[in-house]
Structure 1
Amino acid sequence: MKVIAVLILFVACVAAGLQDFKVKTVHPRDRTNASSFDSRITNGLDAAAGQFPYQVALEFTGLFSSWFCGGVIIDNCWILTAAHCTDEALYVKIFYGALSLSSPAFTETVYALSFKQHILYSSSSLKYDISLIKTPHVAFNSAIDKVKLPSISATPQTYEGNIATTSGWGYTSDYNPNLAGTLQYIDLEVISNTECESVYGAVISDSNLCCKTDNGISTCSGDSGGPLTWYDGITWLIGITAFGSSEGCQKNYPVGFTRITQYLHWIKDNSGIYTP
């Protein structure tokens, strides 16, 4: 019996060790120190005027604090962002057509009654991290325009092995708690969910999309809810920035996004936007 007990204890310890090996994920708003992941662009490139007309900046205000996120225009009256950005917010200030946050084309303030946060979102999960914001009608031009959503009727792509682009005004390093002066962007390679799960464990699901990061080039605070796009002659929205490693932005762990193809029906049901 003693031998069996020792073996059981050994197996339990090994299992615990394997569990501990998995890197912990964290939503950007849960960042507690300068080394935690908080979606932002590190070691990125300066965007040119009009390069990302679908990108907006979102300054949220809650009861006791305020926070910064990104968002993406998907229609004249709709912005898509992460649920962990809208969660507990009272209102948001939207910056349209901005290359620098100090000089947007214009701003709008929208209150929480116009938020459509996924009803199943929970801060303890990586699922359902998606929200819609209904806005006053915005006229499109070269600086402000919508991005195209994938087709709801097409067979969903994994995008594995493709190069995707993400953008935002978030922090530019783990140790510089200031928003970028100019919109930043980076190109990242999409990896399989199996590879992502090997780092983060079973919290990764079909509703997630992950990209690998190398040489400290990553999303990192302020980029949450911002776009991940893929270009094949048309720019498609394939993800919104959602999570990463609690150990830091520049640790070369995969970064995670909400996979848009998993939520096209939800977007249609809550906004009326249909992409055949």
Structure 2
Amino acid sequence: MFLILYFLFIIRQVSSYRYLPDSEHIPYSYSTLERDLLANATEIPHHVLIVYGTWYCSGSLTASKIVVTAASCFIHYNGEAIAVKIGAESITATGQVISVVEYKIHEYFQHHSKIDNDIALMVLKENVDFDDGDIEKVVIIQPDTALHVNTLLHVYGWGGPEKAVKYQNMPLCSDMLVLDKTECISHYGQLITSSNFCVRFNPQRKLSDNGGSAIYNRTLVGILSAGGNSNESPHFAILTNVSYFHRWIKLNTEMYLRKYCSVPISKEYYHMSSEIPET
């Protein structure tokens, strides 16, 4: 009897796992005739610039005081003040500049490899003003969700000084395709863990920084972790798997909102199955 109940439990767990897109027949549509590398600011209202010292990277606004990025964004950090700019059309353009009061790198960052568990969360000193320009929070992919091979993702970042003048300091978008994990491991080896996955990109569409969002159907499914600016063939990038960290993002968001916001403390807000409270 115990074995039957255990088997039914396992079946239920497996059946709850889902793939995106819903159809498994995804055409391989990779082409050099992609959209322009420049991204329109209105298509990435969640995209932020993260700055400390002389370093910068990208992040995604997930709540009015919360930004999610890659933990590897902070590998050069040496205690400098951290600030984010939101709603800017370029690195040098005006936008809301808000200081970061606290940040958290995943507890097991670099546990199995240099980019294992490559995710971090930052708390802003003030609430973002959503009435000031085109600014929105990004929707996070649900847990236990995977992407079919060859699914097209839009991956964003800021253009660095190595880019042509047209792209320097500008928001960029690279079309990337989800890669079979076996092929990814054959290239990156032990860098690939359950916390990340690979995408293929056109070398003409390289990005300059990491921490930027990988978007499918207006949903945050990945964070650019490594390889997006590589000249090395076969041009595979590694993305942090946001679905894998859905619960980590949610629990830490709730913890910091309780710490820094005047939010009613109730089971309705802070139960695992609840929605993330607004600040």
TM-score of the superposed pair, with normalisation by structure 1: 0.71
Task: Indicate whether 1:92 and 2:74 are aligned.
Answer: no
50 and 117 in structure 1: CA distance in 2 versus 1, 3 angstrom threshold: same
1:162 lines up with 2:151 in the alignment: yes
Letter in 1 for 2:44: F
Gaps of 5+ in 2: 1-34, 258-273
Structure 1 counterpart of 2:180 = 192
1:63-212 matched pairs, under 5 angstroms: 66-87=54-75, 88-90=77-79, 91-111=81-101, 114-122=102-110, 124-135=113-124, 136-141=126-131, 143-152=134-143, 155-171=144-160, 173=162, 180-212=168-200
Q: 1:70 to 1:196 in 2, by over 3 A?
A: same
Of structures 1 and 2, the one scoring higher in RCO (CA 8 A, sep 6+) is 1
Equivalent in 237, 246, 253 of residue 255 of structure 1: 237
Paired residue secondary structure (2:178): strand
Letter paired with 1:226: G
Aligned residues: 219
Shift of 1:178: 11
**Aligned twin of 1:21:** none
Matches of 1:131 and 1:178, distance apart in 2: 31
For residue 73 of structure 1, give the secondary structure of its aligned residue in structure 2. strand
Query: 1:253, 1:241 → 2: CA distance?
Result: 14
1:45 aligns with 2:37: yes
Residue 58 (structure 1) aligns with: 50
1:224 partner SS = coil
Q: Cα deviation per residue 1:138-161 (whole Å; 9 max; x = unaligned)?
A: 132451111101123xx4123422
Report the TM-score, using the length of structure 2 for normalisation.
0.70
Q: Secondary structure at the match of 1:268?
A: helix
Letter in 1 for 2:92: S
Q: C-alpha separation between the residues in 2 aligned to 1:48 and 1:268? A: 29
Deviation (angstroms), 1:168: 1.4
The equivalent of 1:19 in structure 2 is none
Cα offset, 1:216, TM superposition: 3.0
CA drift of 1:198 comes to 1.3
Percent of aligned pairs with the same residue? 25
Q: CA deviation at 1:176?
A: 6.9
Amino acid aligned to 1:266:
W
Q: Report the residue type matching 2:43 in the other structure.
A: Q
Q: Does 1:229 align with 2:229?
A: no
- Confirm or deny: 8 A CA contact 1:170 1:178 kept in the other structure: no
Pair 1:243 & 2:243 matched: no
1:110-158 residue CA offsets vs partner (Å, 9 max, x unmatched): 24xx101112113952211110001121132451111101123xx4123
